Amino acid sequence: MSRYAWAPGYTDDGDRPKIVTSRFQYEDGYTLDRYLATGGYVGLRAALGRTPSEVHDEVKSATVLGRGGAGFPAGTKWGLTPQGVWPRYLVVNGDESEPGTYKDRLLMERDPHQLIEGCLIASYAAGLSQVFLYIRGEMALAQERVAAALNEAYAAGYIGKNILGTNFSIDIVLHWGAGAYVVGEETALIESLEGNRGMPRLKPPFFPAAIGLYGKPTIVNNVETLSNLPWLLTNGAAAYTAIGTETSPGTRIIAVSGHVKRPGVYEIINGSTTFRDVIYGEEFCQGIRDGHELKAFIPGGGSAPWFLPDQLDLPFEAKMVGPAGSMLGSGAIMVMDETTDIPAMALTLVRFYAHESCGKCVPCREGGTWLMRIMERVVAGRGTQRDLDQMLEIGQSITPGQYPHAASERLGLAAAPFPFRMTTICFVGPSAYNAVDSSLTLFPDEFQAKLMKRTSIPVTAVGADS
Amino acid sequence: MTRLNEANVIIAKEIIGRYPKARSATIPLLHLSQQQNGYVTNEAMVQIAEMVGATSAEVLGTATFYEMFKFEPVGKYLVNICGTLSCALMGSETLLHHAEGKLGVKAGGTTEDGLFTLERAECQAACTEAPCLQVNYRYRYKVTTAELDQLLDDLAAGRLDGEVPPHGTVARVRQHIPADKAVGPVPPDAVVAPPAWITEGAK
């Protein structure tokens, strides 16, 4: 078993290819010395030896899917900037806070130079003039490691004026947040970076690639997405696409938490690895904790509809998980065994999204809060059937129509595929409802069992003895 | 004296100088003032507004949006116990109740000696190491009630002073861009042409 005291949770048993976690095995993996000794900044040199459009084409042909949640290919995203509009900015999304997700923080703490090199490659290829590296406020160690790495890289000439003696010049500015989940949404991230409340901007029509930071074209990429680029430029798109499947190439980092024997962070082969592999595989989680069995799991973070054991054989492939009624999201798998009190656990997610609503859209601000209050009542044993119906009604005002859910043989349910309709700007509101919908659709009996019992009121007794 | 002191004004100016628009420095400067005073004071918000070219109401509006900023004194140690799903599955409720009992305050409260503020926090991105908590944003993983007791005792006795700075200090390492290496901020309205390496190729 290979775990490392300095990278809590990270496990690299087996001989799977490593694209982004190759330096986690070194205690000093975050230093420039170790980075340079292990192929660091080779990808940048390779990039600078080619034209920006050649580098862009290389990334495009590798189909590096965005690892933040939406899964949009990075190379395509870079190409969406309007022609002839300058300057363009890069904003790095290091505001990891989706429930269950734990990967970007490790990448920043353990291998900050890899992220910096990724930022430089992206900026070179897409002609971006300044980089803002936005790290979640609560991540003190990640902020310290990235700050130290930036200072080292500036001193060594990898960032700043005339990088490696060329005309490629760019600053990377470390920026940090102050605690707000919604800031992980890219337009809210930009608002926050402009010094405002982190509320998402209305879109469409204008996505950040067209009108972003300070009203200029802005690329927002996730930490893991950018961390893929040094390896890609060092080894080439062909080597990258040789790993994984055609539509989901490369690897991705997943975090498996909850009731498994060995919760952990694993770099897996994208597209072909199945949920059964990671939950039961010997080199991964090694099954459900002793004496228990799987009840349900969430395949892609707190916002993703829940899966039942029926869906274990699905691979990490968006084209299959979407039609099955959920999403891969940010690579966070949360596993619940049969001891789980489903309504109580769903409440923790509803509470999270209600708490994190920014308040801009009424259906989310009000709906999320009421979902939380009603759910609290139900979990406390004071709910009625009317409360359950009310929650579904509130859901209709946040996300009208059928909400995605998994198929269940036991319940005779057919899968409802993505996407869903929404009355809000971003996904926070629908996510609050998601936990209600998944738990109530898949485990109706557990909610019924919690409802207030009225049978003990002896209404018929009056007059019987008189 | 709750405005930024002289040394922090120098740091604040350096931070502002990195951004194309000064207002972008609002959150970093709020952190700086919280680092100095333990919480964000009204005087500091007025001063930050002057420095970034906003109104004090705008700075207040931004500051109150974010969880980490406090507007009245909190304990020297802010103990955030995660209560979201992964941690809840692994018993975080028990941990929180235990902490409430040990400290004698409810979640959200501060102990009378001003040493601890206890909060129920939302997901801290350590889900595989559940249940987890943060003390002044320093992690503790797979925390048992016994370990929590030990931690609180150690903090109270000052045995963790080197590892856990007082509330307000988040990162202890700051970015510093050397003047001879800095490209400088790229203002949105002053640049109309693509960067040199796009037009000329890398040379």
* CATH number, residue B10: 1.10.10.1590
Q: Does one domain contain both A301 and A165?
A: no
Provide, as residue numbers in chain A, all residues whose Cβ is less than 8 Å from the Cβ of B173. 143-145, 147-148, 151
Same domain, A112 and A151: yes
Give the 3-state secondary structure of residue A293: coil
Each residue's pLDDT tens digit, A112-123: 999 999 999 999
> Which of B85, B126, B171 has the CB atom closest to A144's CB atom?
B171
Q: Which of A241, A270, A296 finishes a domain? A: A241
**What is the residue-wise DSSP string for B89-112?**
HTTHHHHHHHHHHHHTS-TT-B-T
User: Residue B151 — φ and ψ, nearest 5°?
Assistant: -60, -50
| Alpha-carbon distance values, A358 to A196, A213, B67 (Å) | 12, 19, 11
- A265: chain B residues, CB-CB within 8 Å: 128
Same domain, B48 and B103: no
A308 pLDDT exceeds 80?
A: yes
pLDDT score at A466: 45
- Pick the last residue of a domain from B44, B65, B86: B65
Q: What is the distance between the alpha carbons of residues A438 and A307, in angstroms, rounded to a whole number? A: 8
Assess whether A319 and A270 both reside in one domain. Answer: yes
Q: Determine the distance in angstroms separating the CA of B6 from the nearest CA of chain A, rounded to an integer.
A: 22
To the nearest whole Å, the CA of B54 is away from the closest chain A CA by 10
Domain shared by A213 and A360, yes or no: no
Same-domain check for residues A203 and A306: no
Q: Identify whether residues B47 and B91 lie together within a single domain.
A: no
Q: Put residue B6 in one of left, alpha, beta given phi > 0 → left and psi -120 to 50 → alpha.
A: alpha
Please, which residues have CB within 8 angstroms of residue A4's CB and are 6 or more apart in sequence? A10, A24, A25, A27
CA distance to partner chain A, nearest, from residue B68 (Å): 5
Same domain, A99 and A212: yes
Of the residues A12, A95, A261, A348, the best mutation for testing chain B's interface (the one with the most B CB atoms within 10 Å of its CB) is A348
What's the gap in Å between the CA of B29 and the closest CA on chain A? Answer: 10
- Whether residues B25 and B92 fall in one domain: no
Distance from CA of A11 to the nearest CA of B (A): 11
Inter-chain residue contact A100 with B123, CB threshold 8 Å: yes
Are residues A46 and A142 located together in one domain of the fold? yes
Distance CA A443, CA A437 (A): 10
Whether residue A108 is found in the same domain as residue A210: yes
Q: Is the pLDDT of residue B134 over 50?
A: yes
In a domain, B57, yes or no: yes
Q: Chain A closest CA to B28's CA: distance in Å?
A: 7
Q: Would residue A15 count as lying in a domain?
A: no
Alpha carbons within 13 angstroms on the beta-carbon side of residue B153 total 6
Residue B144 lies in a domain: yes
Pick the more confident residue, B2 or A6.
Answer: A6
Residue in B127, B137, B139, B203 to test binding to A, most A beta-carbons within 10 Å: B127
Final residue of a structural domain among B65, B93, B111: B65
Domain holding B22, by residue range, is 6-65
**CATH code for the domain in which residue A446 is found:** 1.20.1440.230
- Residues from chain B that touch A184, judged by Cβ atoms under 8 A, are none
CB B141 to CB A8 under 8 A? yes
Whichever domain contains B111, its CATH number is 3.40.30.10
Q: Which amino acid is at B134?
A: Q
Residue-level pLDDT at A69: 84
Same domain, B90 and B133: yes
- A102 vs B122, B127, B196: nearest CB: B127
* pLDDT top residue among A464 and A203: A203
Task: Give CA–CA dist B46/B55, Å, rounded.
Answer: 8
Note down the domain range covering A331.
Answer: 251-337
Across the interface, which of B26, B27, B181 has its CB nearest the CB of A160?
B181
**Helix B42-52 and helix B26-37, axial crossing angle in degrees, nearest 10:** 150
Asked if B81 and B152 sit in the same domain, the reply is yes
Measure CB to CB from residue A137 to each of B68, B138, B180 and give the nearest one. B68
Give yes or no for residue A457 having a pLDDT over 70: no
Selection from A352, A296, A355, A371 nearest residue A326 by Cα: A296
In a domain, B177, yes or no: no
- B-chain residues within 8 Å CB-CB of A100? 85-86, 123, 127
**Are A194 and A255 found together in one domain?**
no
* Tens-place pLDDT, residues A231-254: 999 999 999 999 999 999 999 999
Q: Is B80 helix (H, G, I), strand (E, B) or coil?
A: strand
ipTM of the complex: 0.97
Q: Six-digit token pair at B57?
A: 């109401």
Give A143's Cβ-side CA count (13 Å radius).
24
The predicted model scores a pTM of 0.95
Which domain CATH number covers A259?
3.10.20.600
Please tell me whether residues B18 and B44 are part of one structural domain.
yes
A126: which residues sit within 8 A by CB, 6+ positions away? A52, A56, A78, A81, A88, A90, A219
**Which residues of A are less than 8 Å from B69 in CB distance?**
178
Task: Work out the average pLDDT over B109-119.
Answer: 97
- Residue A460: the pLDDT is 57
- B125 inside domain: yes
Query: Smallest CA–CA separation between A23 and chain B, in Å?
Result: 19
Average pLDDT, whole number, for chain A? Answer: 95
- Residue where a domain terminates, one of A280, A304, A337: A337
User: Would you say residue A76 lies in a domain?
Assistant: yes
The answer to whether the CB atoms of B85 and A100 lie below 8 A apart is: yes
Q: Is B67–A51 a contact, with Cβ atoms under 8 angstroms apart?
A: no
Same domain for A264 and A222: no
Q: Sign of the C-alpha dihedral, residues B41, B47, B50, B52?
A: negative
| Residue B161 in domain | no
Q: What is the CATH number of the domain that holds A134?
A: 3.40.50.11540
The per-residue pLDDT for A455 is 61
Does A51 sit within 8 Å of B202, measured CB to CB?
yes
pLDDT tens digits, one per residue of A220-234? 999 999 999 999 999
Is residue A326, in this structure, part of any structural domain at all?
A: yes
Domain boundary among A241, A265, A291: A241
**A97 contacts B122? CB cut-off 8 A:** yes
Distance from CA of A260 to the nearest CA of B (A): 10
Shared-domain flag, residues A390 and A412: yes
Nearest CA in chain B to A162: B181
Helices B145-156 and B92-103 pack at an angle, to 10 degrees, of 40
Residue that has been written with the tokens 């008189």 in this structure: A466
Candidates A93, A95, A173, A190, partner chain B, best to mutate (most B CBs within 10 A): A173
CA distance A398 to A368: 9
Closest partner CB to A166 (pick from B170, B198, B203)? B203
- Looking at the fold, whether B124 and B145 belong to one and the same domain comes out as yes
Q: Considering the domain boundaries, does residue A211 fall inside one?
A: yes
Whether residues A281 and A318 fall in one domain: yes
Residue B190 is predicted with a pLDDT of 87
Segment B8-62, tens digit of pLDDT: 999 999 999 999 999 999 999 999 999 999 999 999 999 999 999 999 999 999 9
B187: preceding bond cis by omega (within 30 degrees): no
Tell me how many domains chain A contains: 3
Question: Is 80 exceeded by the pLDDT of residue A465?
Answer: no
Q: Which residues of B154-180 are buried (b: 16+ CB within 10 A; e: fewer)?
A: ebbeeebeeebbebbbbbebbbebeee
Number of domains forming the structure of chain B: 2
Cβ–Cβ gap B180/A161 under 8 Å: yes
Residue B171 lies inside a defined structural domain of this protein: no
By C-alpha distance, the chain B residue nearest A211 is B188
Q: Can you tell me the mean pLDDT for A335-364?
A: 97
Q: Which residue of A has its CA nearest to B185?
A: A130
A352-409 confidence digits (pLDDT tens): 999 999 999 999 999 999 999 999 999 999 999 999 999 999 999 999 999 999 999 9
Specify the pLDDT at position A321: 96
Domain boundary among B37, B65, B93: B65
Six-digit token string for A402: 């059928």
Q: In what order do the strands lie in the sheet with A264-269?
A: A264-269, A251-258, A332-337, A294-298
Q: Is the pLDDT of residue A445 over 80?
A: yes
